[in-house]
Each structure stands twice: as C-alpha cells, then as structure tokens.
Amino acid sequence: MEKLDVSEAGISKDGETLYLEFTKLDPHLSFLDKPHTISALALSGFLIVYLAFTRQESSSALDSVANIKLGLAVVALVFLLFAALQFRDGLFMRPHPIVWRVVMGCGVLYMVTLVFLFFQTKDDVRTLLLPHIDPKLGKPLPERSYAENCEFYTPGHPSGSNFANIMETIRDEFVAAHFIGWFGKVLILRDVWLCHILSVLFELMEISLAHQLPNFKECAFD
C-alpha cells in the first residue's frame, strides 16, 4: 500500500497532512472523508422528533423528572454530533479523527457542567441535582484524616504488621488514582518537567486547603 510522500509536496506535517497520510494508509475509512452534514442532520432530526412525540404525556412528578433527564441527554448528544462534524482535527489520527472530536466534545460538556456547579451551593447540589443521577449520591461521605497516626514503625499493631500505617497508605484507593492520573497526564503532556511541576503544585494546593478538607492532611511518607 503506497504511502503519501509529504516531502515531495513541500509542506510540513501539520494536522491536515497527517490526516491525508492516515487516509492514504487506511482506505477502508475513506467514506468518512466525505461530508455527511445533511444526512446526519436528517437522521438526528428524525430521532429527536420520534423521541419527543412518542412519549406518553403524564402530569406525575416522576414523568416530569424523566422528561428533563431525557431532554438533557438529547441536548448532550446533539452537541456531540455537532462536535463530531464541526470541531477541528487534532494530532491523534487513530482509530479516526472523528473519535477525538467527540472526546473533545465530552471535555467541553464536562467543563460547562463544572462552570454551572461552580455557581451552586453544596446543599443544592446534594439535595436537588445528585439524587436525580443516582439515589445513592447526595449524601456526605465520612471524612478520613491521613495524619491522625503517622508512626513509621508500629510494633504490636492489631494487624500484625510492623509497618501498618505504610501498608494502609499503599492499599489506599487514592494511590491507584494518583498513578492512573499521572500516567494519563504523561500521555497528554509528554513533558517530564511539566508533569513534575504540576505534581508539586498539586501538593501545595493540598497543603493550602488542609484547613478545609481534613483528608488533605497527610503524613510525611504519603
């Protein structure tokens, strides 16, 4: 299979050129190279009208909540469709640039959701919003302080370990969360110095907010 020679074209390998290389190497996805705006608009419009007019009308509060949830879900899907069709391509080509446009659209939805929550009170979010997502949500979780017992060597501990505090720290779920977050951050930034700077700034943020969140208080070996 012939590969596109970018050097002969006299242009640099920007996003568009990389995409041309990608489609040349993978012709099975060539049907996605053509614009499908009209067909996507017609299909999405048909689905929206079908969902809107085939639901049974009811005055009960449960049905009203279900209608609001469905409406918000369809709004999100319409925005993701717009993102898939109109957002610009990035540097990631595989499996297809349209996948990464949808990922960018999900990031934008997440950002605007955080902006909306920023203007709400904690009690309103817990009592009015979160229970509609999952009934288990909206309840305060028990706060754990990681600085209650910072002994390094713990002979006679009920668990039988001489390093019980360290073992509990290693088995904590936040260790895995930090590792996965660091791995994802490295994949995105590709700069070891910038990743270390962000990690140091995150630790400084924890120290500065320890007076508000008890679980930000940590032992030295954390």
| Whole-number pLDDT of residue 16 | 54
Question: What sign has the CA pseudo-torsion 146, 152, 156, 161?
Answer: positive
Q: What is the pTM of this model?
A: 0.56
Half-sphere exposure of 189 (CA within 13 A, CB side): 15
Which DSSP string do the residues of 128-193 spell out, in sequence order?
IIHHHH-TT-SSPPPP--TTS---S--TT-TTS-TTHHHHHHHTSHHHHHHHHHHHHHHHHH--HH
Report the pLDDT value the prediction gives residue 12, as an integer from 0 to 100: 47
DSSP classification of residue 210: T
Those residues of the chain that have pLDDT short of 50 are 1-12
Burial of 83 (0-12, 13-18, 19+ CB in 10 A): buried
